[in-house]
Amino acid sequence: MTRRKNYRPLLWITALLIVSSILYIRFWPSESVPSLGSDMPKNIAMEPVTPQNIESPAAEVLSERIAEYHINVRLDESAHLLQAAQTVTWLNPGKKTVNELYFHLYPNAFESPDTTFMRESGGRLREDAMPGDGYGGISLTALDTTDGLSLMNRIEYVQPDDGNAKDKTLIKIRLPQPVKSYERITLTMKFEVKLPKIFARMGYAEDFVMAGQWFPKVAAYEKVGVRGRSSEGWNLHQYHGNSEFYANYGIYSVKIEVPDTYTVAATGFPTKTPILANGRKTYQFYADDVHDFGWAASPNFIYVEEPFSAPNVPGVRIKLYLDPKHENLKERYLYAAKAALSKFSEWYGSYPYSTLSIVVPPKAANGAGGMEYPTLITAFGAEDDSPGYNLERTVVHEIGHQYFYGLLASNEFEEAWLDEGFTSYAEDKLMEHEFGVAPNLAVEGSYMTDPAPLKLAAWEYKDHRHYAENVYMRSKLVLLAIEKQVGEKTMHRIMRTYTQKYRFKHPTTADFQRVVEQVTKRKWTDFFNQYVYGNQMADFAVEGIDTRVLDNEGAPRYEATVHIVKKGADYPSVPIVFHFADGTSTRKVWNGDGERMQYRLNHTAPLDWVMIDPLYTIVVENKHINNYMKAHVEEPVRTRVNLSIVKLLEMISSAVGW
């Protein structure tokens, strides 16, 4: 009798092998799919850090990560020079084929008095001025493709905004081969930056270095639909006297070599302990889902670090790099940072990064102060041993930028109010909530002497004062005017919806208007046309008061006719108080329809005075001097009163000037 073979164990083994293979293919990390830029060449002067070197856990991808930078930079402290090599991989996010790349060379803004930045700024930013011997700039010394083809003869300086041939802050590189949709191109570069003396954001002061906007940076490329675009393309602008910056999100891996006595603060987090060799120290930093990389270095920093977490802040290392003059103020810096991170994350969405660095520069480097970079901010230069609330206000403001500049990345060239105005609004909210410091909105409103549309390109404002007046102050007042009409709770929903919906998406003014309309369920076209797209402010005035005595069977009554006129933009709720000689008052609210309104009042005592908006609830009113009128004033007294009010407002305005 023949024995039948038992195939059942073999079938089970075969099935297990098949299942194991499937699981291996599905879940085991594939080494055959490189990350963006992982195939970079390593034949440049200083070997770049590749993703395989990064000692960091896998993280959620929050943005498109269009560009990836691997940079090695060496500080020559004696020559005030940065010597660097970088490898840049750019992903074409659109559907069109791209035949050229554009790079910002921001340090060239400080190359000569003839650059666009210097012409427009007059060599000043805020209260800091360009030293006569303080010029600097950036020079590309090599530019190659991955197969070694030099592109140096394919570089062209372009000036799309003003045609200034002496401005070299933007270059076009004609590519030897086109980059098709969702293809990548990798270029290697070598460059040197002669650091200017600090007066505007970057440079050196004694042995302090602020490297902001210091490397060749790919210009922003926008797909259809981004910022309302109907056709995709580059967003190209030079470095202007008022403008700040705009870029796509990406990945940064940066090695920074400095003297071994220096401490470095930078965007992102260190991936390993600094390496010491031959009297030098090399730091290695990594950051993803950011659109810039800044760093500072000094041998004098007092370093303080504290972990912090809150309901919407899973865990952040707050790092202070203090000028010695402010060493004793570390608790104030830390408290302000914790309050800002906690509340802003509650109001505008969680802070997604693991670090936040605060650099306090020395007094001589004040020009680098009050600035924001992803995960890194600078306070104003350390001067006063016991500064007022300006210390907290600056920290709060710059951390606010981490949300509107960092996590939304609106276009600061073209719509600066979406960053500065929104951050100023958030700053005031937190300063009042946490420190009890409330703004004087009536004074701030009266300071609006030259209102302009908020959606102007930054360089279209007349000068820095005009830019600041509108982009910072007037923008904030416009947001508060919306809040006054809808209430704080609804405004909170508006801001939360906006910041969550457009996180990492480069929103526009139109996007914000749509959110306001969606949340409030009504149109805001007239308001935005007048206050945002237009240059109007509210201006309601008491034009005149007519009085007469009525005979009421021997008991006199007094009739007053009050003429109210609208001289500025619309506003839906205009409170008016009428005060009588017997001490009584009556209140009316005009809905603002039409150009003028007339009130007729009968009372047993004559009308004494009239005042529009006595509590200054119309925050976008800028001419309060005509809000008040007495019914009966002798002419000499009337003149003296009006002149006194004018002088008072002039003194107040001067006291809060930029």
**pLDDT digits 0-9 by tens, 439-480:** 999 999 999 999 999 999 999 999 999 999 999 999 999 999
Strand residues in 105-195 grouped as ranges (E) = 124-125, 128-129, 137-145, 155-157, 170-179, 184-194
- The dihedral over CA atoms of 652, 653, 655, 658, expressed in degrees to the nearest 10, equals 160
pLDDT-based confidence at residue 633 (cuts at 50, 70, 90): confident
Average pLDDT over residues 650-656: 39
**Banded model confidence at residue 31, pLDDT cuts 50, 70, 90:** very low
**Tokens 């509650």 belong to residue:** 346
In this structure, what DSSP letter does residue 49 have?
P
Q: Strand (E) positions, 267-420?
A: 269-270, 275-277, 280-290, 295-298, 302-310, 313-322, 355-359, 371-373, 376-378
pLDDT (0 to 100) of residue 634: 66
To which residue do tokens 């910056």 refer?
Answer: 245
Q: Helix or strand or coil: residue 470?
A: helix
Q: Mind listing the pLDDT tens digit for each residue in 570-619? A: 999 999 999 999 999 999 999 999 999 999 999 999 999 999 999 999 99
Is 380 in contact with 394 (CB distance < 8 Å)? yes
CA atoms of 318 and 559, how far apart (whole Å) = 66
Distance of CA 267 to CAs 249, 252, 504, 580, 585, Å?
14, 9, 17, 63, 59
pLDDT of residue 658 exceeding 80:
no
Cα–Cα distance between 235 and 245 in angstroms, integer?
11
* pLDDT average, residue stretch 125-131: 91
Task: Indicate the DSSP class of residue 48.
Answer: P
Q: Is the pLDDT of residue 144 over 90?
A: yes
Of 102, 321, 472, 628, which is the active-site residue? 472
Question: With b meaning 16 or more CB within 10 Å and e meaning fewer, what string describes 218-245?
Answer: bbbbbbeebbeeeebebbbbbbbbbbbb
- The answer to which of 44-53, 426-435, 486-495, 636-645 has the lowest mean pLDDT is 44-53
Instruction: Give the model's confidence band at 284: pLDDT under 50 very low, under 70 low, under 90 confident, else very high.
Output: very high
Size of the chain in residues: 658
* pLDDT above 70 (res 12): no
Q: Please give the helix or strand (H or E) that residue 649 lies within, else none.
A: helix 635-655
d(CA 220, CA 414): 13
Q: Give the count of beta carbons closer than 10 Å to the beta carbon of residue 602.
A: 10
Phi, psi (degrees; rounded to nearest 5) at 72: -115, 125
Average pLDDT over residues 520-524: 98
Q: Of 4-13, 114-123, 489-498, 520-529, give the lowest mean pLDDT range.
A: 4-13
Look at residue 654 and tell me whether its pLDDT is greater than 80. no
In the annotated binding site, the residues are 397, 401, 420
Mind listing the pLDDT tens digit for each residue in 235-271?
Answer: 999 999 999 999 999 999 999 999 999 999 999 999 9
According to the model, what pLDDT value does residue 59 have? 64
- Give the active site residue among 111, 222, 244, 398: 398
Distance CA 122, CA 229 (A): 34
Q: Binding-site residues for Zn(2+), please?
A: 397, 401, 420
pLDDT above 90 for 635:
no
For residue 94, pLDDT beyond 50: yes
Share of the chain above pLDDT 90, in %: 84
From the list 21, 81, 72, the residue with the least C-alpha distance to 49 is 72
555 band by pLDDT with thresholds 50, 70 and 90: confident
Q: Is the pLDDT of residue 28 over 80?
A: no
| Model confidence pLDDT, tens digit, residues 425-446 | 999 999 999 999 999 999 999 9
Average pLDDT over every residue of 63-74: 98
Token digits of residue 94: 């659109």
Q: Pick the more confident residue, 126 or 634.
A: 126
Residue % of the chain over a pLDDT of 70: 87
398 in catalytic set:
yes
